[in-house]
Each structure stands twice: as structure tokens, then as C-alpha cells.
């Protein structure tokens, strides 16, 4: 949710960051071989490329029992021309830790965004998924357009710095003109640098990649764990291949019935709810809350800070300043996980004293920026997939008419989310639909987990996903908690339900509530 792209459901990869030569794009050769019969060459994993998020090569698996291994899988650039040019998709795998006779198959993960690198993210959370490894090979991948998989490239790092710092909530005609001009420049750079790829990064394309991956990995059914936007990808897969759905879990669930405007409005409400939950938590502690005397005072002071930053930025991560835009996205980032609430408190304290470093680092994490100023390609990929998926295109006049509704949804995040709607206005590729089709009659049961305190994928989306999947497919489970996603909260009830289904095939009772 960092201007102007919308993390239609980012996962918590950045928590792992804050708490403890790009690969080829398109091949030009036609081919005779059947891609379902390709043999993957699994090797030791290199350090992640900058587009994946950078950093060191993944550590050995917990307990020293094996290493992560990486491979590339060929897929058609254009699924309407399956015998034409190919792209390479990056994969990572941890082999099952259990006995061969207990192994079920591969469990493929998508952590959301869209735009998060699964090759980078899965090892960061490897210990949290260790129980699932007793019966599955754990597999992550960079979806097309992401990381090492034919990445969408737009602005260079220096220009992206400036782009993400500019005013995302224009107050007058000059600021509106600047916003639209820089958005058009960003979109034009994407077309110039990634033109061949842009028409082929829709969620439906990635779903077809998933089915190819299933076959190449040797599984009769797709066993899948989708988080956030990964639930949308999983739903589209179930719609296209209902007979191939194996055991699947959707966590932090996207509402598949919403168009771009409805989704942004829902996120405005979701982040406002999460901010209120943070404020209540802060003032309920034994000691005084250092950023406000009451929950309302906490929210009021944050509102005044953002208003002041609109005209008077403060020093941030040198040499950059903390602008209103960066502070808003930094606050939003901290609301993705209760583990980050203490960082938010520290960041607000420092910002009130004129130091914006912590809030800027939180904003950087959301946008995929490292300490050296290098960016992953999450911003570019997020825009490319979102604009390719969603048909709606909005003008400044459209946004102006909608601002009252967004302000009513959230005094702090409403305008920010509303103006994000113009991000696709000049996009080179038409959007596919108003919202995804996830109807999957006849598919195996899918465990759908909604979190009552989720800011990015509000709780109501889980029920709508269940309804859209169809009778007998979606099985809803409610987690009464905070943050984006339930499984990594370590709630025993949630984990038992997920393990019971994925490991033993036991579907929990529909309507189960975990507190």
C-alpha cells in the first residue's frame, strides 16, 4: 500500500527483514518439446538478486537437515501461443523431512503482493512452516513478472526514490497535474523496459504456470498455500482447474467480488480499524502510552503529524526526508503485523521529536528498498499485475467525486487510497475484468481463513471467497486476532486446523472460530 501502487494483499515478508544479474526474460526459439516433461535441475541457491530483495543466500534448513535448492522452469510467454517463446520461472525447494512413504507431494506457496518473490520469502519463514515439511516438499516461486522470473522493470532506483516520495494526496491543481505526469512517466518506463512482458503477467497466466509447475513436479493434484493476493491466485487456479485442486489453504483472503475502487475503499476501512486497534493496545498497557493519552489522542496526534509533514518534511533516513507520503506508508506497513507495533510507537516518538528515520525504514520495507538504496521489483510488478487484472481506469475527476466516501472510511488513509486509483490510468495493457472469477464447482475443499483484525484483506472477504468458490468447496475459519494473516500468528487453534487438513486430510467444521 505504498503510493501509488496498492499491495492488494501483501504478505509479511518485510517482518523477516525488520525483525532478526537478473535472469533471462523471454526466449525467442520455438520448440518441439512438451514443457510438462521438462526435467528441473536443482542446485544450491545463489544469493537473491536485487529484484528479489537481495541479501545472503538462504541458510541451511532447520536442524542442519539439508539445504534449500533452486531451479528454473520454462513456461510459455504467451499461454495463447503455448508453442512459442518461453520465459524462465525461478523456483526454490526444501525437500520433505519425513519418510518417503509419508510424503504427500509438493506444497506450493504464494505469499502475495502481487510482486513478492517466493524464492526470497519462503526461506525467511522456513522455520514457521517446518511442520508442513514433514509430509511435503515446500516449494516457492517467483511468479511471472517478479524477481528472477522475467521481471517487469520500470524506473531505476534513483528515480523510484523520487517517485515514491512525491505527494500522493494532491491538494490543488498543480499537485494533481504533477501526480498524473509522474504516474504517466512511470507507466511509460514500464512499457519501454518491459513491453513484451506486460501483456502476459495477469493472474490467469500465473495460474496456468501453477498447473504446469504441478505437472513438472510430478503431482496429480495441486497442494497449495496462498497468502493474501496468493488467495486470489489460488481462487483463479481453482476456477480454471477445479479437478486438479488438492489440499489447499487460503490465509488473509482477498475479496474476489470487489473491483479496484471497492478494494481500495475496503483497505481504507481496514487500515483505519487496525490503527484503532493499535491505539487501544498502546493505551491499555501497564505503563503510559508514549504517543497519546487515549486511543483518540493517539489517532489525533498521528493525524496532526501527517498534516504537518505535507508542507514541512523532517529528516529521515539520510539524505532523504520523511514526507507525508512516506510517513503514511510507513505507518501502514507497521499495521500489517502486531509484531511491528513497537516499531511504530518508537517511530512516532522519534517523528514527534523531528526524526523520521524509523517511519522511513518501515516505508522502505513496504516498497522493497534495501539499506543501500536498491529496490526489489515489487513496485513495478505490483502495478503491472494489478493494472493487467483490473479493467477500471480512473481520472482525477473520478477520484475527486469519490473522495468523500474514502474520507468517511478513513481520515488518515482514505485520500491516500483514493488517489492510488489513478495508477493504471495510462497503462499500456487493457485490464482483464472488473474482478476475478473464482467459482470452482466440483473442486476439493479449500480451507479459507479470515482474520477479524486484518488491515489489508478485511475479514469480510473470507466469507465472500467461500460464497464465490461455491457450495462444498470453501470452508471458512475465523481467527479473532490482529495483523495480516493467521497461520504465522502462532495461534494454536489455527495451526491445528491447517495441519489437520494439509497433513491428515481432516477438514475442520465450517464456521470454526479461533481466538
- Tell me which residues are annotated as active site: 228, 454, 484
Of residues 390, 335, 406, 325, the one with CA closest to residue 360 = 325
Cα(468)–Cα(75) distance, rounded to whole angstroms? 29
Half-sphere exposure of 176 (CA within 13 A, CB side): 13
Burial of 128 (0-12, 13-18, 19+ CB in 10 A): middle
**CA end-to-end span of the chain:** 27
Cα(199)–Cα(191) distance, rounded to whole angstroms? 10
Interacting residues of 157 by C-beta distance below 8 A, sequence separation 6+? 373, 374, 375
Cα(462)–Cα(511) distance, rounded to whole angstroms? 11
Interacting residues of 226 by C-beta distance below 8 A, sequence separation 6+? 109, 110, 112, 232, 233, 234, 248, 249, 250, 251
Listing DSSP states for 113-174 in one string gives TTT--HHHHHHHTGGGGGGGGGTEEEEEE--TTBTTBS----S-HHHHHHHHHS-SS--SHH
Of residues 368, 364, 331, 370, the one with CA closest to residue 347 = 331
Q: Are 282 and 298 in contact (CB under 8 A)?
A: yes
Q: Is 419 helix (H, G, I), strand (E, B) or coil?
A: helix
Helices H / strands E in the chain, number of each: 16, 12
Listing DSSP states for 352-410 in one string gives HTT--HHHHHHHHHHHTB-TTS-B-SHHHHHHHHHHHHB-----HHHHHHHHHHHHHH-
What's 390-401 look like in SS3?
ECCCCCHHHHHH
Cα–Cα separations (whole angstroms), residue 468 to 146, 232, 439: 28, 11, 5
Cα–Cα separations (whole angstroms), residue 146 to 58, 89, 383, 507: 18, 9, 11, 33
Position of cell 477445479? 242
* Cα–chain center distance at 74: 24
Cα(479)–Cα(496) distance, rounded to whole angstroms? 12
Position of cell 536442524? 63
Half-sphere exposure of 344 (CA within 13 A, CB side): 28
Amino acid at each position: 500500500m505504498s503510493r501509488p501502487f496498492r499491495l492488494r494483499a501483501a504478505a509479511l515478508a518485510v517482518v523477516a527483514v525488520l525483525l532478526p544479474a537478473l535472469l533471462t526474460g523471454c526466449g525467442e526459439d520455438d520448440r518441439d518439446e512438451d514443457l510438462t516433461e521438462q526435467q528441473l535441475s536443482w542446485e544450491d541457491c545463489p544469493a537473491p538478486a536485487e529484484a528479489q530483495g537481495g541479501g545472503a543466500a538462504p541458510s541451511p534448513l532447520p536442524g542442519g537437515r539439508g539445504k534449500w535448492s533452486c531451479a528454473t522452469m520454462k513456461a510459455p510467454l504467451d499461454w495463447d501461443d503455448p508453442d512459442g517463446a518461453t520465459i524462465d520461472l525461478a523456483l526454490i525447494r526444501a525437500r520433505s523431512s519425513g519418510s518417503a512413504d509419508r510424503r504427500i507431494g509438493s506444497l506450493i506457496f504464494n505469499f502475495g503482493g502481487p510482486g513478492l518473490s517466493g524464492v526470497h520469502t519462503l526461506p525467511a519463514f522456513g522455520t514457521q512452516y517446518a511442520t508442513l515439511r514433514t509430509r511435503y516438499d515446500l516449494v516457492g516461486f517467483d511468479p511471472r513478472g517478479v524477481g528472477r522470473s522475467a521481471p517487469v522493470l520500470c524506473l531505476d532506483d534513483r528515480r523510484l526514490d523520487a517517485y515514491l516520495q512525491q505527494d500522493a494526496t494532491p491538494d490543488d491543481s498543480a499537485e494533481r497535474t504533477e501526480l498524473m505526469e509522474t504516474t504517466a512517466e512511470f507507466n511509460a518506463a514500464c512499457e519501454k523496459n518491459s513491453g513484451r512482458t506486460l501483456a502476459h503477467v495477469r493472474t490467469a497466466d500465473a495460474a496456468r504456470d501453477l498447473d504446469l509447475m504441478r505437472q513438472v513436479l510430478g503431482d496429480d493434484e495441486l497442494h497449495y498455500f496462498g497468502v493474501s493476493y496468493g488467495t486470489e491466485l489460488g481462487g483463479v487456479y481453482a476456477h480454471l482447474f477445479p479437478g486438479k485442486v488438492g489440499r489447499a489453504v487460503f490465509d488473509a483472503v482477498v475479496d474476489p467480488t470487489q473491483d479496484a475502487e471497492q478494494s481500495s475503499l475496503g483497505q481504507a476501512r481496514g487500515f483505519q480499524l487496525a490503527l484503532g486497534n493499535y491505539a487501544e493496545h498502546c493505551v491499555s498497557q501497564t505503563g503510559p502510552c508514549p504517543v497519546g493519552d487515549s486511543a483518540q489522542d493517539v489517532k489525533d496526534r498521528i493525524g496532526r503529524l501527517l498534516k504537518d509533514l505535507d508542507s514541512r518534511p523532517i529528516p529521515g533516513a539520510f539524505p532523504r526526508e520523511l514526507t507525508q507520503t512516506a510517513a503514511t506508508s510507513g505507518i501502514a506497513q507497521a499495521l500489517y503485523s502486531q509484531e511491528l507495533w513497537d516499531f511504530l510507537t518508537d517511530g512516532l516518538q522519534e517523528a514527534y521529536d523531528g526524526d523520521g528515520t524509523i517511519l522511513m525504514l518501515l516505508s522502505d520495507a513496504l516498497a522493497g528498498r534495501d539499506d543501500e538504496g536498491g529496490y526489489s521489483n515489487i513496485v513495478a510488478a505490483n502495478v503491472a499485475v494489478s493494472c493487467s487484472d483490473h479493467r477500471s481506469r480512473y481520472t482525477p475527476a473520478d477520484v475527486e467525486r469519490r473522495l468523500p466516501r474514502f474520507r468517511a472510511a478513513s481520515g488518515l488513509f482514505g485520500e491516500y487510497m483514493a488517489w492510488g486509483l489513478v495508477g493504471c490510468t495510462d497503462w499500456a495493457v487493457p485490464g482483464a475484468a472488473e474482478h476475478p472469477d473464482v467459482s470452482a464447482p466440483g473442486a476439493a475443499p479449500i480451507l479459507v481463513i479470515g482474520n477479524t483484525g486484518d488491515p489489508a484483506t478485511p475479514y469480510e472477504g473470507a466469507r465472500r471467497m467461500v460464497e464465490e468458490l461455491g457450495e462444498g468447496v470453501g470452508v471458512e475459519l475465523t481467527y479473532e486476532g490482529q495483523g495480516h494473516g493467521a497461520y504465522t500468528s502462532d495461534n494454536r487453534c489455527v495451526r491445528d486446523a491447517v495441519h489437520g487438513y494439509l497433513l491428515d486430510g481432516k477438514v475442520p467444521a465450517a464456521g470454526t472460530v479461533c481466538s
